[in-house]
Amino acid sequence: MASNGVSGLDMEKKSGGGGGVEDIYGEDSATEDQLVTPWTVSVASGYTLLRDPHHNKGLAFTENERDAHYLRGLLPPAVLNQDLQEKRLMHNLRQYKVPLQRYMAMMDLQERNERLFYKLLIDNVEELLPVVYTPTVGEACQKYGSIFRRPQGLYISLKEKGKILEVLKNWPERSIQVIVVTDGERILGLGDLGCQGMGIPVGKLSLYTALGGLRPSACLPVTIDVGTNNEQLLKDEFYIGLKQRRATGQEYAELLHEFMCAVKQNYGERVLIQFEDFANHNAFELLAKYSKTHLVFNDDIQGTASVVLAGLIASLKLVGGSLAEHTFLFLGAGEAGTGIAELIALEISKQTKAPLEETRKKIWLVDSKGLIVHSRMESLQHFKKPWAHDHEPIRALLDAVKSIKPTVLIGSSGVGKTFTKEVVEAMTSFNKKPLILALSNPTSQSECTAEEAYTWSKGRAIFASGSPFDPVEYNGKLFVPGQANNAYIFPGFGLGLIMSGAIRVHDDMLLAASEALAAQVTQENYDKGLIYPPFCNIRKISAHIAANVAAKAYQLGLASRLPRPEHLVKYAESCMYSPVYRSYR
């Protein structure tokens, strides 16, 4: 039995609802349900224990543990503690110069020794986030067919139609609290990567654990494979997905519906389903449809909105004025662009008591056909219609910038190098401190680089980007760009939903998350030009976000876990998974 085990957030067990058969580690108790699944809970020891990533400690097994668990001779004699293992692995990782090699080394570690993987990620978050997340995860998805070794999540394809509930039961963990699901059609700004999009749910869920403290065993990555329209992948002999064009219409909707129903039936109604990197022609509809019946959250629409709003609230300390006094221009009017626009309008509406239709008027969007204006109304997709204001048609971003004169320019187009020198110079010509956010991922798709933003604005821009950039020295001054990425929000947001037992997501929770994140920016951060706090404090930040989200859930009557804990921040912290090894008797 584990002697020092804190197994992270497991409300069912804490509230006495779990029970069942315990394995030797006292951690992953089997529920009655498990006893009828087609596999058994193994009480691993010896060689099997070393092959079990949830319990393996490698050279950190103590002498007593080596005796008690038949490990003698299977390990070299040295005993290393976890800190030394971490030091050794970080040293090894730094030897790899190619980012994808680092990614693969981290994935190997995750499959070999889960606690050590999370200890590395938590302790070295700023260094390792670009490895397990954007930008490297983008390249990993592009090459997933070649680097695939072992399944890291569930693949649900058209072949599984009618059997999705059975497929869910094949996953070895039962107490799932968060699912991140993609259909691979819009992976970052890299387009349709089909089944190879699996790298995204896997990466997002490792952040749920490292940044938000959810137990790894409570997280389930899922890729729905309905085919791909990526010609290159269809021709690729190593492609791991269905080699057919994407199913659409009723066939698509039925598979998604079966999945959503099966999830609820198998895991209950408080499991959080995060939609990730769906194309916008499905994303808005799925969110609208299932937000009435399930606990669903679209990270690209809602998480991105919340993180950008937080940055904007924080930036007011640097650029002055209230949100309502600013003018916003977006390049890109899809999930991210319109999601952010709507949350800004909602926040201004709450602040000023003006109706949403009014507050939307200071927010302008440009799509691939130019500025969204009233004369285009007929042909616009439904999510763009609220942004069709009265203005003459404008085709080019630069002309839109010159005409609208925004104080804030936000890139959410997925197209790199679109914030040109002329665009940044125009922003600088009528703003003392232009706020420029290049949100598109990965780095290759960023609308401009940090260096370009600072150089072209002569050091006046406040800049943040979706993928990280190194600090830039300009005219003898060091500029530190922030990372405007939904990774700040979704881990804490999810924790808040789960710890309160929320049954639905509400827009006010997104605003609550933004306020919590903005409040974490310190004077020291502002002095460096940052509008986000550094990721090295992310667990504390996530606890504050979780507390604000949970408080809102209780206030709105959407929380099912009663009574409400008195100190929500402390409670959130106490729920967080610790990667520190446990001792085995």
φ, ψ dihedrals at 363, nearest 5°: -120, 125
Which among ligand NDP, ligand PYR, Mg ion, none contacts residue 335 (Cβ within 5 to 8 A by kind)? ligand NDP
Interaction residues for ligand NDP, span 452-471 (CB under 6 A): 466
Q: How far is the CB of 300 from ligand NDP (least distance, A)?
A: 4
Q: Is 181 helix (H, G, I), strand (E, B) or coil?
A: strand
Q: Are 219 and 490 in contact (CB under 8 A)?
A: no
Which among ligand NDP, Mg ion, ligand PYR, none contacts residue 415 (Cβ within 5 to 8 A by kind)? ligand NDP
- Which residues lie across from 298 on neighbouring strands? 275
φ, ψ dihedrals at 188, nearest 5°: 45, -135
Q: Is 183 annotated as a binding residue?
A: no
Q: Is 186 annotated as a binding residue?
A: yes
Q: How far is the CB of 151 from ligand PYR (least distance, A)?
A: 22
For position 449 contacting ligand NDP by CB under 6 A, the verdict is no
Q: Is 170 annotated as a binding residue?
A: no
For position 102 contacting ligand NDP by CB under 6 A, the verdict is no
Q: Are 116 and 85 in contact (CB under 8 A)?
A: yes
For position 333 contacting ligand NDP by CB under 6 A, the verdict is yes
Which among Mg ion, ligand NDP, ligand PYR, none contacts residue 280 (Cβ within 5 to 8 A by kind)? ligand NDP
Nearest by Cα to 245 from 219, 227, 261: 227
Q: Is 570 a catalytic residue?
A: no
CA 387 to CA 348: how far, in whole Å? 15
Q: Which of 137, 273, 286, 331 binds ligand NDP (CB under 6 A)?
A: 331
Find the Cα–Cα–Cα–Cα dihedral 145, 146, 152, 155, rounded to 10°. Answer: 20
For position 336 contacting ligand NDP by CB under 6 A, the verdict is yes
Whole-angstrom CA distances from 207 to 131, 361, 410, 454 are: 12, 36, 25, 30
| The pair of three-digit structure tokens given for residue 558, joined into one six-digit string | 């959407």
Q: How far is the CB of 308 from Mg ion (least distance, A)?
A: 13
Q: Is 300 annotated as a binding residue?
A: yes
Q: Which of 10, 139, 225, 300 binds Mg ion (CB under 5 A)?
A: 300
Q: Is 277 annotated as a binding residue?
A: yes
Q: Which of 57, 204, 362, 552 is catalytic?
A: 204
What mask, x for binding ligand NDP by CB under 6 A, covers residues 169 to 208?
A: -----------------x-xx-------------------
Q: Is 88 annotated as a binding residue?
A: no
For position 185 contacting Mg ion by CB under 5 A, the verdict is no
- Which residues lie across from 408 on neighbouring strands? 328, 435
Helix axes 507-519, 490-500, angle to 10 degrees: 120
DSSP class of residue 418 equals: -
Q: How far is the CB of 398 from Mg ion (least distance, A)?
A: 28
CA 262 to CA 242: how far, in whole Å? 22
Q: How far is the CB of 236 from ligand NDP (least distance, A)?
A: 23
Among residues 89 and 329, whose Cβ is nearest to ligand NDP?
329
Query: For ligand NDP, which stretch binds (CB under 6 A), given 39-47, 232-240, 413-421, 530-538?
Result: 413-421
Site residues, ligand PYR (CB under 6 A): 188, 277, 299-300, 441, 466, 485-486
Among residues 486 and 548, whose Cβ is nearest to ligand PYR?
486
CA torsion sign for 498, 512, 306, 569 is negative
Interaction residues for Mg ion, span 243-282 (CB under 5 A): 276-277
Angle at 498 between CA 497 and CA 502, to 5 degrees: 50
Q: What is the full DSSP assignment across 262-281? A: HHHHHH-TT-EEEE-S--HH
Q: Are 454 and 424 in contact (CB under 8 A)?
A: no
For position 414 contacting ligand NDP by CB under 6 A, the verdict is yes
| The pair of three-digit structure tokens given for residue 224, joined into one six-digit string | 């729905």
List, in order, residues 6 or more apart from 466 with CB less than 8 Å away.
134, 438, 439, 440, 441, 446, 483, 484, 485
CA 106 to CA 118: how far, in whole Å? 10
Helix H or strand E segment including 436: strand 435-438
Q: Which of 25, 133, 267, 454 is catalytic?
A: 133
Q: Is 554 a catalytic residue?
A: no
Q: How far is the CB of 188 from ligand PYR (least distance, A)?
A: 4
Q: Are 127 and 193 in contact (CB under 8 A)?
A: no
Annotated binding site for a divalent metal cation: 276-277, 300
Annotated binding site for (S)-malate: 186, 441, 485
Annotated binding site: 186, 276-277, 300, 441, 485
Query: What is the contact surface with Mg ion in residues (CB under 5 A)?
Result: 276-277, 300
Query: What is the contact surface with ligand NDP in residues (CB under 6 A)?
Result: 186, 188-189, 280, 300, 304, 307, 331-337, 366-369, 412-415, 439-441, 445, 466, 484-486
> Which are the catalytic amino acids?
133, 204
